[in-house]
Amino acid sequence: MTLKDVIRKVFLVEIVKGMALTFSRLFTRPVTRRYPKEKRPAEPGFRGLHALVRNPATGDAKCVGCGLCAAVCPSRCINVYTSEGPEHQKVVDGYEIEVLRCVFCALCVEACPYGAIALTPHYEYADYSREALFMTKERLLDNWDRYMGEEGLRYFDSFWNPKEAHFKPPRGQAMFKGRIIGGFSG
**Contact set with other proteins (CB under 8 A):** 64-68, 70-71, 80, 82-84, 88, 90-91, 113-114, 169-177, 180, 182-186
CB of 155 to other proteins, least distance (A): 26
Choice between 42 and 97, CB closer to other proteins: 97
CB of 173 to other proteins, least distance (A): 5
Query: Where does 77-149 have alpha helices with state H?
Result: 107-111, 137-147
Distance CA 46, CA 175 (A): 33
User: Do 51 and 123 contact (CB within 8 A), yes or no?
Assistant: no
Choice between 19 and 71, CB closer to other proteins: 71
Choice between 23 and 167, CB closer to other proteins: 167
Q: In which element (H, E) is residue 179 found?
A: strand 179-180
CB of 182 to other proteins, least distance (A): 6
Choice between 47 and 137, CB closer to other proteins: 137
CB of 135 to other proteins, least distance (A): 18
Distance CA 125, CA 103 (A): 15
What's the chain's Rg over C-alpha atoms? 26
User: Do 51 and 118 contact (CB within 8 A), yes or no?
Assistant: yes
